[in-house]
Structure 1
Amino acid sequence: MSELIECRRRIDDFTVGMYLEYVFPGDSCLVPGVLLGDDSGAPEVTLLHSFRLVTQQDAEASELNFRLSIRIAEPGCSVEGSVEVDLEQDMGEFDTGVTVLQRARREGLTVEQAVELLRTFTDAMVEMGDVPERLGLVPRR
Structure 2
Amino acid sequence: MVDNSQPAAMNPYAYSNNARAMLSDSDGLFFPILIGIVARKAAQALARRLGRGISPGRCAPRTKLECAVSAAGQQPIESVLLSVHEQHRLLDEFAVRCFLAFEFGEESEVTRQLLIDKSDGHPRLTLHHSFRIVDWEKSQEHSELNFDVALTFTDADCTVEASVIALLEWQMGEFGVGTHTFYRAFDSHLPLDDALAIFAERVAQLCALGDVPGRLGLRQS
Check whether TM > 0.5.
Answer: yes
* 1:9 lines up with 2:114 in the alignment: no
CA displacement at 1:35 relative to structure 2:
1.5
Could you tell me which residue of structure 1 aligns to residue 112 of structure 2? 32
CA displacement at 1:58 relative to structure 2:
1.4
Percent of pairs with identical residues: 34
Structure 2's unaligned 5+ residue stretches are 1-80
The residue type equivalent to 1:105 in the other structure is F
Give the 3-state SS of the residue equivalent to 2:85 in structure 1: helix
Equivalent residues of 2:126, 2:148 under 8 A apart? yes
Find the aligned partners of 2:184 and 2:210 in 1 and give their Cα distance: 16
Find the aligned partners of 1:39 and 1:55 in 2 and give their Cα distance: 34
- Write 1 or 2 for the structure with the bigger share of helix: 2
Q: Select which of 95, 99, 113 maps to 1:19.
A: 99
CA gap of 1:97–1:41, structure 2 versus 1, over 3 A, is closer
- Of stretches 31-40 and 56-65 in structure 1, the one that deviates more from structure 2 is 31-40
Could you tell me which residue of structure 2 aligns to residue 130 of structure 1? 211
CA displacement at 1:37 relative to structure 2:
1.0
CA displacement at 1:93 relative to structure 2:
2.2
Give the 3-state SS of the residue equivalent to 2:135 in structure 1: coil
The residue type equivalent to 1:101 in the other structure is F
Equivalent residues of 2:108, 2:131 under 8 A apart? yes
Could you tell me which residue of structure 1 aligns to residue 163 of structure 2? 82
The residue type equivalent to 1:58 in the other structure is S
CA displacement at 1:75 relative to structure 2:
2.4
Could you tell me which residue of structure 1 aligns to residue 125 of structure 2? 45
Could you tell me which residue of structure 2 aligns to residue 61 of structure 1? 142
- Of stretches 124-133 and 21-30 in structure 1, the one that deviates more from structure 2 is 21-30
Equivalent residues of 2:119, 2:152 under 8 A apart? no
Work out which structure has the larger RCO, using CA pairs closer than 8 Å and 6 or more positions apart in sequence.
1
CA displacement at 1:40 relative to structure 2:
5.5
Find the aligned partners of 1:78 and 1:51 in 2 and give their Cα distance: 25
Give the 3-state SS of the residue equivalent to 1:139 in structure 2: coil
Larger radius of gyration: 2
Equivalent residues of 2:94, 2:207 under 8 A apart? yes
CA gap of 1:24–1:41, structure 2 versus 1, over 3 A, is closer
Find the aligned partners of 1:127 and 1:91 in 2 and give their Cα distance: 21
Per-residue Cα deviation, 1:37-56 (whole angstroms, up to 9, x for no partner): 13455210111000001101
The residue type equivalent to 1:50 in the other structure is S
Find the aligned partners of 1:23 and 1:40 in 2 and give their Cα distance: 38
The aligned runs of 1:74-113 (5 Å cut-off) are: 74-113=155-194
The residue type equivalent to 2:87 in the other structure is C
